[in-house]
Structure 1
Amino acid sequence: MVRWQRGLWWFLLPSFGLLTVVLLWPLGYAIYLSFFDYYLGSSERTFIGLGNYIELFTEARLWQSFWTTIIIAFGSVGLQFVVGFALALGIYKLKFSARLFTMLLFLPHIVTPVVAALFIKWILVSNFGLLDATLLGLDITPPDWLGDPIWAKISVILADAWIFTPLIMMVLYAALQTLDQSLVGAAQIDGANAWQILRHIIIPALIPAIIFTVSVRLMDAFRFFDTIYVLTGGGPGTATETITMYTYQLGFRMLDIGKASALGVITLVVVAIILLTINKVLTRIYRRGD
């Protein structure tokens, strides 16, 4: 390294200091509290080591919330990716009004998730909601969208997909703009059909963008809280209680900060493992395509 370049490290100090204050310090403090039996408002902290972790792993509620999180996260992100990719391809193929359709399709993402959830809840509320009123007017008995355990999960997945599909659509549409048209033209000359072009040219070229969108959305989905809190509150019962909702219940309802901190650390580790696995698989596919 050139001598004058060594001084450039000083320019990293403000960013590193801010990162320490807003991220590393809270994370370290949460890890510290996870080893204690500590309730909010209490002046006593009893060191119990891995006691919180052991207690959590022996609870059926943790595993239920974990699998609920997996179902909702992968269900919503999978639906978002399929619909968002289809919309991005559709807009990419448009010869006119592409900007208008892009703006209209992006509107759901502009709305604050809490406001969007309130709007969706008004549509899905039993008997008096817009959807139920429409179906009853057609002599169709609607299900209990937010009161039935299965339909509540489906409603939460659809709500999250409606809000965040535009984000995936925009990222993939932007990536499509960088597609090398000479490859597409050469494939067409060689007689490749639309499916072969999509599978062997377009999708491999979009793998970096796909890795980015899937990673970002999965991280958000595992922290899924506001929409579920507004729509179902984790109910009926614990049917839509995700890990984040369970952490909220432990920390702010039961005031068990030690246990809530342990669950936060567990969530961080699980999400990191899942993201690293997905990134490794997609990267291997991308390199194999090269």
Structure 2
Amino acid sequence: MVRWQRGLWLFFVPSFGLLAVVLLWPLGYAIYLSFFDYYLGSNVRSFIGLGNYVDLLTEQRLWRSMWTTIVIAFGSVGLEFVVGFALALALYRLNSSARVFSVLLFLPHIVTPVVAALFLKWMLAANWGFVDATLLTFGITPPDWLGDPFWAKISVILADAWIFTPLIMMVLYAGLQGLDESLIEAAQIDGASNWRILRHVIIPALIPAIIFTISVRLMDVFRFFDIIYVLTGGGPGTATETITIYTYQLGFRMLQVGKASALGVITLVIVAALLLTINRLLNSIYRGGDR
């Protein structure tokens, strides 16, 4: 390496220092606290090794909240991807009119999630909310959107999809802009149907964008907090208590900081393993499509 190139490492130091302060130090401190029986505000820290991890992994509440997180995560991301992909294809066909529609469709993502959740909570309020009032006008008995365990999950999934579908739509629409039109034209000349063009031309070309959007959204949903906290608070009961809500309950309601830190580490490991598996699966499909 040339001498002047070795000097370029000095430009890396400020970024690494900021990363260490903002990310690595809190992560290391959380791992450190996870080995202690420590309550917030207490001056006593008792070292218990893997005790917090053993307690958490043997709790039914942890696995119930993890299952709820997986259901909400895959439900919302799946819905967001299907709707976002359909909207991206529609915008791609609109050509010159796409800009106006893309701005309008992107508006829900501009709103702060907490504000959007408050707006949706008002709309879904029992009896007098906008949705219930509309359904009652047509003689339809509405479900208890936020009070019934099943419908509370559905409401949370729909709320997340309403807010974040525009993000997936815009990323996939940007990917479509780089699509080679000659491939589509060649497929049409060969007599390929629209479904075959979508399956064998468009989707393989968008696999990198699909991997990116699914990975980012899954990471985002696994730390899902603000919308659920405003809409249901994790209820009714623990019906919508995700792993993040449970961590909040442990750390700021029960003040069990050591146990909450251990739960954060467990969540990090599970999410990392899940994302690596999904990325490998999608990449194998992508590479298989290239052969």
Question: TM-score by structure 2 length?
Answer: 0.99
Alignment of structure 1 residues 211-226 onto 2, 5 Å: 211-226=211-226
In structure 1, the residue matched to 2:37 is 37
Partner of 1:15: 15
Match of residue 81 from structure 2: 81
Stretch moving more, 129-138 or 143-152: 129-138
Separation in 2, partners of 1:275, 1:56: 22
What are the ranges of 5 or more consecutive residues in structure 2 without an aligned counterpart?
none
C-alpha distance in structure 1 between counterparts of 2:170 and 2:157, whole Å: 20
Alpha-carbon offset, residue 96 of structure 1 = 3.6
Rounded to whole Å, the distance in 1 between the matches of 2:81 and 2:138 is 33
Who is 1:152 aligned against?
152
How far apart are residue 137 of structure 1 and its match?
1.5
Instruction: Indicate the larger mover: 2-11 or 257-266.
Output: 2-11
| Partner residue, 1:71 | 71
Following TM superposition, by how much is the alpha carbon of 1:134 offset from its aligned partner in structure 2, in angstroms?
Answer: 1.0
Query: 2:164 maps to what in 1?
Result: 164
List 4+ stretches of structure 1 deviating above 4 A. none
Q: Determine the C-alpha separation between the residues in 1 that align with 2:109 and 2:36.
A: 40
State the distance in 2 between where 1:67 and 1:19 align: 32
Question: What secondary structure is seen at the aligned counterpart in 2 of 1:94?
Answer: helix
CA distance, structure 2, for counterparts of residue 287 and residue 141 of structure 1: 50
1:267 aligns with 267
- Matching of residue 193 in structure 1 with residue 223 in structure 2: no
Shift of 1:138: 1.5
1-side partners of 2:214 and 2:67: how far apart?
19
Matches of 2:120 and 2:199, distance apart in 1: 35
Tell me, in whole angstroms, the C-alpha distance in 1 between the residues paired with 2:271 and 2:57: 16
| Other-structure match for 1:248 | 248
Query: Which residue number in structure 2 is paired with residue 179 of structure 1?
Result: 179
- Per-residue deviation, 1:140: 1.2
> Which residue does 1:277 correspond to in 2?
277
C-alpha deviation, 1:165, in angstroms: 0.0
Structure 1: state its 5+ residue gaps. Answer: none
Q: Secondary structure at the match of 1:97?
A: helix
For 1:80 and 1:138, the matched residues in 2 are separated by 29
**C-alpha displacement at 1:2, in angstroms?**
2.2
Identity of aligned residues (%): 80
Which residue of structure 2 lines up, in the alignment, with residue 142 of structure 1? 142
Number of the residue aligned with 1:57: 57
- Report how many residues are paired: 290
Q: How does 1:105-144 map to 2 (within 5 A)?
A: 105-144=105-144
> For each residue in 1:232-259, what CA deviation from the matched residue of structure 2 results, as whole angstroms up to 9, or x when unmatched?
0000000000000000000000000000
SS of residue in 2 equivalent to 1:115: helix
Q: What is the Cα deviation at residue 95 of structure 1? A: 3.8
For 2:82 and 2:224, how far apart are their aligned partners in 1? 20
What is the RMSD computed on CA atoms of the aligned residues? 0.6
1:205 and 2:197 are equivalent in the alignment = no
Please report how far the alpha carbon of residue 213 of structure 1 lies from its aligned counterpart in structure 2 after TM superposition. 0.4
The 2-side partners of 1:10 and 1:274 are apart by 35
Within 1, Cα distance between the matches of 2:190 and 2:277?
36
The answer to whether structure 1 residue 236 and structure 2 residue 236 are counterparts is yes
Which residue matches 1:93?
A: 93
